[in-house]
C-alpha cells in the first residue's frame, strides 16, 4: 500500500481528489514559482497599482487630517444616529481580518492541508485589515491626540479607564489580536525569508531578508522549534480569533437597544466575520493568482473549498437573521418587534434587502459544483458578499438607532462626503500595504506547500519513468 | 500518517460481538431495566404529576440529545469526507438508530401539556381573570396545544427518519462495499444537517424554553446543540472504552482515535462554555427584567449551588483536565473525563428544566433516577440490538483504511 493512499489531502478513495500542487517537478520548482515575482524587474503594472493605492491613501490622509482639524461634525452623525459609518467600517474591516487566522490556525488544528497555498496571503490580508479597522475607533474619539487615555496606566490626572465598557474591551481584544496575528504571520515567514536571503542577487535584499530571517539555517533543531512554536501560536490564536468578533458584538449586544440586545450576537458575528473574510480572500486571490502565475499552487480545488466555507457561514448568518426575527416576534416585546419589522419595511428597507440578497441568497449558487468552480462566478459572488457584509453592519448600526424610543427624535441618517472619503481612503491603506506585500514577501508559504506534496513523505518512491508525480492520480 | 506498512487484515473477532459476548445481553438487560423503571416512575409520580412529568422530560431531553448529537456527528463526517473517524462512526450510527423510540416516549408529555406548560392555561387568555397574561395572548398563535403537538410530532418524525436512514444505509454498505452508498450519504448529509439544525433548535425552544414562556433567548437552540454534541462524543468514548475492555476493537480503535475524540471533547467543552457565557453575560449585563428573571431563579437561593457546579464542572474542571495531551491518550483518564461530562450534561438538562417544578430549590429524588433509567434503558436496548446486528465498524467503508492507519503527529 503506497503512502498516498493514506494521505487524504492527495487521495480520496470515493471520488478522487485533484492534487494540491499541480504538475510541480520537485521542491525547487515551488521556490521558483513563488520567488519569481519578487525577482522580476518591477513591472509597470505594479507601479500603476501602487500609485492608485497611494492616491487613495492620500484621500484617507486628507479626510483624517480634516477630521482632526474640524471634529466629527464633518460626518453625518446626528442624534439619534450617533454611530454611523465609522463604526460600520470598523466592524467591516475587523470582520475581514478573521479569515487569515481561521485559515492559519483553525484549519491547521483540523489538519486541512489545502490551507498551505493560501494561508500566507490570507494572514497578510488579516493584518492589513486590522490596521484599517483600528483607524476608525481611533479617529472617532474626536481628540485623537489623547487616544492613549484608552490605555489603563497610572497617571498624574488620576484618569482611569472604564472597565465596564465593551469599547475598552475592544481596545484590548483588537490590539492583542493584531499582535498575535502579526507574530503568527512572521513565525511562518521565517523559513521563507531565509530562502529569499539565500537567493538574493543584491546586497541590500540579502541584508534585509537576512535580518528578518533571524539566522535561520534550516537545521533539524530549527525545524523542531519552529513547528512547536507554530502549533502553540495556532492554539493561542484559535480562541483569540473567536474572542475578537465576540467582543465587537458586545459593543452592540450589552446595550438594551432593540435589534442590538440579543444573545445570539457573539457566534453570529463570528460566523459573519469568517464569511466576509473568506469572501475578501477570494476577491484578492483570484486576480493575484493570475498576475503572479500561481495557478499550479492555488488550484480550483482551493477555491472550491473556500466556496463551501462561504456557503456554510452564509447559512449560519442566515440562521441568525431568522432566529432574531422569530424571537423578536416570540418575545412579545413590541419594541423588539418594531425594530425588526422596521428593518424589513422601514426607511432603510433597501439596505436590509441588499444585505439579505447578498449574504443569504447569493452564496446559494455555491450549491452547484459548476458554479463554485467557475472563477468568474466565485469572484462576482465574493464581491456581493463583501457588499452584503458591509450592509449588515450598516443595518445593525443605523436601523436600530434611527428610530428612537421617542418618535419626536426620529431621524434619517445620511453619510457626508467625508464619511465616504474616509471609507474609500481606508481601502487605500489596505491596497498600499498589499501592493508592497506582494512585491517584497513570498505570497505563498514556500516551505509549507512543499510539505503537502507527495515527495514530502519519507517513504515516497518516485515513479519508475522519472516523470513528476501528481499525487492521487492512479 | 501511516507510511504504508499497516496490515489491513481485520480480525473478525475484533469487529463483531461473539455469540456469547456479554454485550449481547445489553438489549435484554437494558430493556427490562427500562420498562421496570418506567413503571416505577409512574408509581412514584403520586400526587405530584407536574414534578414527575418534568423529571421525565429531563430524562427525555438528556437521552434524546445523545441521539441528536450523534446525528450531527455522523452527518458532519459525511459532509466533510472525514477519514479519521470511520472506526468510531458506526457506534454513533447505532446511537442514531433508536431515535424512533422518542415518537412513543414523548406521548406522556404530549398528552399532559396542560400539566407541564403554564401557557396552556386558558385563564391566561381571559381578560377578566386574575391570571390574565398579556404575553400568553400575543404568543397564542405559536403557543397553543394543537400547533405545539403538531410541531413536536414533526421534530420526532424528522429525527427518527434521519437517524434510521443514515443507520440503515451505512450498515447496508457492510456487505456490498458499494461506493455509491458513501456518495449518496455525502450528498444527503448537507440537507440532513440543515433539517437537524432547524429541528433541534425549535425542539429545544418548544420543549424547554417555553416552560417559562415569558423568557426568550435567540441563542437557546445553539446552547442545546452544543451540549448534545458534547454528550454524544462522551457517550461514544465510554462505549469505545467499554468495548475495548471486552477485548473488542483491538487494533482498530487506537490511542490515536482516543486522542482525537479527546481533542473534540475539549473543543466542545469550550464551545458549550462560549455559548453558555454569551447567553448569561448578555442577559446579566443588559439587566432587563423579562430575561434576567430566568437566571434569577437559577442563581438565587438553593439553585445557585447547581449553577456554580455547572460552571465549575461543565467548564473549569474538564477544561483543565483535558488540556494535557497525555490525559487524552490514557483510556482511564479519558474515560473519567467522558463520564464526568455525561453527568454534567444531565445536570445541565436538570438545571434547564427542573427549576420549573421546584423553584424553591433542587429536590433530586428517586423518580429522577427511575425516569432516566427508564428512557435510557429503552434507548440503550435498541442501541444494543443495533450493536449486535452488524460489525462494530463500517467494515467496507472506502475510507476505512485511512481511519485504521490514522496517527496524530
Residue A153: is its pLDDT beyond 60? yes
| CA proximity to A177, closest of A102, A252, A112, A121 | A102
Q: In this predicted structure, what is the pLDDT of residue A148?
A: 87
* The dihedral sign for the CA sequence A208, A212, A218, A219: positive
Q: Please give the sequence-ordered ranges of beta strands (E in DSSP) within B277-385, or none if there are none.
A: none
pLDDT band at A9 (very low <50, low <70, confident <90, very high): low
Higher pLDDT, A5 or A143: A143
Burial degree of A204 (CB within 10 A; 0-12, 13-18, 19+): exposed
CA distances to A260, B204, B280 from B294, in Å: 20, 16, 10
Minimal Cβ distance to A263: which of B4, B83, B278 = B278
CA dihedral A167, A172, A177, A180 (to 10 degrees): 170
Flag whether B319 is in a domain.
Answer: yes
Q: Please give the sequence-ordered ranges of beta strands (E in DSSP) within B83-124, or none if there are none.
A: none
Measured from the Cβ of residue B99, the count of other Cβ atoms closer than 10 Å reads 26
A-chain residues within 8 Å CB-CB of B194? 315
Instruction: Write out the residue range of the structural domain in which residue B340 sits.
Output: 20-402
Burial degree of B362 (CB within 10 A; 0-12, 13-18, 19+): middle
Helices (H), A200-348: 203-212, 220-253, 265-291, 300-331, 334-345
Query: Which of B83, B148, B219 would best serve as a mutation to test chain A binding (most A beta carbons within 10 A)?
Result: B219
Flag whether B15 is in a domain.
Answer: no
**Chain A nearest-CA residue for B76:** A312
Q: What is the CATH number of domain A3-456?
A: 1.20.1630.10
Minimal Cβ distance to B218: which of A1, A3, A262 = A262
Q: In this predicted structure, what is the pLDDT of residue A150?
A: 87
Q: What cell was used for B242? A: 467499554
CA distances to A7, A27, A445, A457, B303 from A451, in Å: 12, 9, 10, 8, 54
pLDDT band at A21 (very low <50, low <70, confident <90, very high): confident
Minimal Cβ distance to A253: which of B1, B81, B282 = B282
* Rounded CA separation A263/A250 (Å): 10
Looking at every residue in chain B, the average pLDDT score rounds to 94
Flag whether B11 is in a domain.
Answer: no
Higher pLDDT, A468 or A109: A109
% of residues, chain B, pLDDT over 90: 89
Residue A339: is its pLDDT beyond 60? yes
Q: Is A256 on the interface with B (CB under 8 A)?
A: yes
Chain-chain contact of A8 with B83 (C-beta, under 8 angstroms): yes
Per-residue pLDDT tens over the stretch A410-438: 989 999 999 999 999 999 999 999 999 99
Residue A464: is its pLDDT beyond 80? no
Q: In this predicted structure, what is the pLDDT of residue A391?
A: 97
pLDDT band at B222 (very low <50, low <70, confident <90, very high): very high
* Rounded CA separation B283/B290 (Å): 10
Chain-chain contact of A264 with B222 (C-beta, under 8 angstroms): yes
Looking at the complex, report in whole angstroms how far the Cα of residue A1 sits from the nearest Cα belonging to chain B: 5
Chain-chain contact of A331 with B81 (C-beta, under 8 angstroms): no
Burial degree of A85 (CB within 10 A; 0-12, 13-18, 19+): buried
pLDDT band at A111 (very low <50, low <70, confident <90, very high): confident
Please tell me the total count of domains within chain B: 1
Q: In this predicted structure, what is the pLDDT of residue A25?
A: 73
Per-residue pLDDT tens over the stretch B252-305: 999 999 999 999 999 999 999 999 999 999 999 999 988 999 999 999 878 999
Flag whether B109 is in a domain.
Answer: yes
Q: What cell was used for A301? A: 480545488
Flag whether B283 is in a domain.
Answer: yes
Q: Is A332 on the interface with B (CB under 8 A)?
A: yes
Q: In this predicted structure, what is the pLDDT of residue A452?
A: 85
Q: Is the ipTM of this complex over 0.90?
A: yes
Q: What cell was used for B312? A: 465549575
**Chain B nearest-CA residue for A331:** B216
Chain-chain contact of B398 with A13 (C-beta, under 8 angstroms): yes
> Of A15-24, A401-410, A425-434, where does the model show the most confidence?
A425-434
Chain A neighbours among B 135-194 (CB < 8 Å)? 135, 138-139, 142, 179, 182-183, 186, 194
- A-B interface: how many C-beta pairs under 8 angstroms? 108
Q: In this predicted structure, what is the pLDDT of residue B280?
A: 96
Burial degree of B125 (CB within 10 A; 0-12, 13-18, 19+): middle
pLDDT band at A463 (very low <50, low <70, confident <90, very high): low
Q: In this predicted structure, what is the pLDDT of residue A98?
A: 86
Q: Is A319 on the interface with B (CB under 8 A)?
A: yes
Listed range (A89-93, A404-408, B372-376) with the worst mean pLDDT: A404-408
Flag whether B141 is in a domain.
Answer: yes
* Rounded CA separation A90/B306 (Å): 40
| CA proximity to B216, closest of A343, A328, A249, A254 | A328
Query: Which of B216, B269, B397, B403 would best serve as a mutation to test chain A binding (most A beta carbons within 10 A)?
Result: B216
Which residues fall within 8 angstroms of residue B102, CB to CB, at 6 or more apart? B60, B64, B67, B156, B159, B160
Amino acid at each position: 500500500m503506497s503512502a498516498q493512499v493514506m494521505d487524504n489531502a492527495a487521495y480520496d478513495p470515493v471520488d478522487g481528489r485533484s492534487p494540491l500542487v499541480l504538475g510541480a517537478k520537485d521542491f525547487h520548482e515551488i521556490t521558483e514559482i513563488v520567488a519569481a515575482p519578487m525577482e522580476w524587474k518591477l513591472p509597470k503594472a505594479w507601479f500603476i497599482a501602487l500609485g492608485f493605492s497611494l492616491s487613495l491613501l492620500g484621500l484617507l490622509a486628507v479626510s483624517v487630517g480634516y477630521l482632526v482639524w474640524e471634529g466629527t461634525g464633518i460626518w453625518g452623525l446626528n442624534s439619534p444616529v450617533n454611530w454611523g459609518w465609522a463604526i460600520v467600517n470598523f466592524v467591516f474591516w475587523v470582520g475581514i481580518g478573521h479569515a487569515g487566522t481561521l485559515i492559519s490556525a483553525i484549519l491547521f488544528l483540523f489538519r486541512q492541508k489545502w490551507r498551505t497555498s493560501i494561508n500566507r496571503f490570507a494572514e497578510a490580508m488579516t493584518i492589513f485589515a486590522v490596521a484599517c479597522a483600528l483607524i476608525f475607533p481611533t479617529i472617532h474619539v474626536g481628540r485623537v491626540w489623547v487616544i492613549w487615555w484608552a490605555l489603563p496606566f497610572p497617571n498624574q490626572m488620576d484618569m482611569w479607564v472604564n472597565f465596564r465598557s465593551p469599547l475598552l474591551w475592544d481596545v484590548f481584544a483588537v490590539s492583542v489580536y493584531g499582535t498575535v496575528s502579526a507574530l503568527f504571520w512572521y513565525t511562518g515567514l521565517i523559513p521563507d525569508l531565509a530562502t529569499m536571503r539565500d537567493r538574493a542577487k543584491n546586497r541590500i535584499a540579502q541584508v534585509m531578508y537576512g535580518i528578518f530571517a533571524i539566522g535561520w539555517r534550516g537545521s533539524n533543531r530549527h525545524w523542531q522549534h519552529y513547528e512547536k512554536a507554530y502549533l502553540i501560536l495556532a492554539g493561542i490564536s484559535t480562541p483569540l480569533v473567536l474572542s475578537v468578533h465576540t467582543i465587537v458584538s458586545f459593543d452592540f449586544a450589552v446595550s438594551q437597544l432593540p435589534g442590538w440586545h440579543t444573545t445570539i450576537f457573539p457566534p453570529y458575528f463570528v460566523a459573519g466575520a469568517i464569511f466576509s473574510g473568506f469572501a475578501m480572500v477570494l476577491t484578492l486571490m483570484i486576480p493575484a493568482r493570475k498576475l503572479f502565475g500561481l495557478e499550479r499552487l492555488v488550484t480550483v480545488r482551493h477555491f472550491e473549498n473556500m466556496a463551501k466555507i462561504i456557503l456554510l457561514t452564509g447559512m449560519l448568518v442566515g440562521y441568525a437573521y431568522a432566529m432574531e426575527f422569530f424571537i423578536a416576534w416570540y418575545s412579545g416585546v413590541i419594541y423588539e418587534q418594531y425594530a425588526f419589522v422596521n428593518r424589513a419595511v422601514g426607511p432603510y428597507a433597501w439596505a436590509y434587502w441588499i444585505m439579505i440578497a447578498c449574504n443569504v441568497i447569493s452564496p446559494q449558487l455555491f450549491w452547484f459544483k459548476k458554479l463554485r468552480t467557475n472563477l468568474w462566478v466565485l469572484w462576482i459572488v465574493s464581491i456581493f458578499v463583501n457588499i452584503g457584509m458591509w450592509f449588515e453592519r450598516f443595518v445593525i448600526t443605523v436601523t436600530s438607532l434611527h428610530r428612537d424610543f421617542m418618535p419626536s427624535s426620529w431621524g434619517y441618517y445620511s453619510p457626508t462626503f467625508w464619511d465616504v472619503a474616509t471609507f474609500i481612503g481606508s481601502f487605500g491603506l489596505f491596497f498600499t500595504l498589499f501592493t508592497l506585500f506582494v512585491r517584497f514577501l513570498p505570497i505563498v508559504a514556500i516551505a509549507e506547500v512543499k510539505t503537502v506534496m507527495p515527495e514530502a513523505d519519507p517513504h515516497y518512491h518516485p515513479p519508475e519513468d522519472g516523470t513528476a508525480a501528481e499525487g492521487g492520480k492512479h | 500518517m501511516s507510511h504504508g506498512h499497516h496490515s489491513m487484515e481485520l480480525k473478525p473477532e475484533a469487529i463483531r460481538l461473539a455469540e456469547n459476548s456479554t454485550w449481547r445481553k445489553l438489549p435484554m438487560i437494558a430493556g427490562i431495566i427500562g420498562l421496570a423503571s418506567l413503571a416505577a416512575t409512574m408509581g412514584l409520580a403520586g400526587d405530584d404529576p407536574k414534578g414527575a412529568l418534568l423529571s421525565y422530560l429531563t430524562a427525555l431531553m438528556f437521552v434524546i440529545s445523545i441521539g441528536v448529537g450523534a446525528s450531527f456527528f455522523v452527518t458532519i463526517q459525511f459532509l466533510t469526507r472525514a477519514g479519521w473517524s470511520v472506526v468510531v462512526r458506526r457506534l454513533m450510527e447505532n446511537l442514531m438508530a433508536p431515535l424512533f423510540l422518542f415518537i412513543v416516549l414523548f406521548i406522556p408529555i404530549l398528552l399532559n401539556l396542560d400539566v407541564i406548560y403554564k401557557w396552556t392555561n386558558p385563564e391566561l387568555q381571559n381578560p377578566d381573570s386574575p391570571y390574565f397574561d398579556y404575553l400568553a395572548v400575543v404568543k397564542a398563535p405559536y403557543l397553543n396545544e394543537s400547533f405545539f403537538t403538531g410541531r413536536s410530532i414533526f421534530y420526532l418524525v424528522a429525527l427518527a427518519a434521519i437517524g434510521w436512514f443514515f443507520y440503515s444505509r451505512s450498515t447496508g454498505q457492510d456487505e456490498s462495499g458499494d461506493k455509491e452508498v458513501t456518495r449518496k450519504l455525502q450528498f444527503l448529509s448537507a440537507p440532513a444537517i440543515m433539517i437537524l439544525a432547524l429541528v433541534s433548535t425549535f425542539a429545544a425552544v418548544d420543549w424547554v424554553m417555553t416552560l417559562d414562556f415569558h423568557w426568550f433567548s435567540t441563542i437557546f437552540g445553539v446552547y442545546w446543540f452544543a451540549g448534545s454534541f458534547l454528550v454524544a462524543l462522551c457517550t461514544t468514548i465510554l462505549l469505545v472504552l467499554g468495548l475495548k475492555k471486552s477485548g473488542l476493537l483491538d487494533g482498530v480503535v487506537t490511542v490515536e482515535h482516543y486522542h482525537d475524540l479527546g481533542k473534540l471533547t475539549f473543543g466542545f467543552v469550550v464551545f458549550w462554555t462560549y455559548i453558555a457565557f454569551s447567553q448569561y453575560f448578555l442577559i446579566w449585563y443588559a439587566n432587563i427584567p423579562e430575561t434576567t428573571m430566568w437566571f434569577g431563579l437559577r442563581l438565587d437561593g438553593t439553585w445557585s449551588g447547581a449553577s456554580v457546579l455547572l460552571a465549575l464542572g461543565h467548564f473549569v474542571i474538564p477544561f483543565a483536565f483535558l488540556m494535557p495531551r497525555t490525559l487524552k491518550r490514557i483510556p482511564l483518564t479519558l474515560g473519567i473525563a467522558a463520564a464526568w461530562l455525561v453527568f454534567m450534561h444531565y445536570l445541565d438538562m436538570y438545571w434547564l428544566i427542573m427549576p420549573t417544578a421546584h423553584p424553591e430549590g433542587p429536590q433530586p429524588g428517586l423518580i429522577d433516577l427511575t425516569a432516566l433509567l427508564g428512557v435510557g434503558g429503552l434507548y440503550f436496548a435498541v442501541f444494543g440490538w443495533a450493536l449486535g446486528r452488524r460489525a462494530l465498524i463500517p467494515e467496507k467503508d472506502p475510507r476505512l483504511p485511512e481511519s485504521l492507519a490514522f496517527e496524530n503527529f
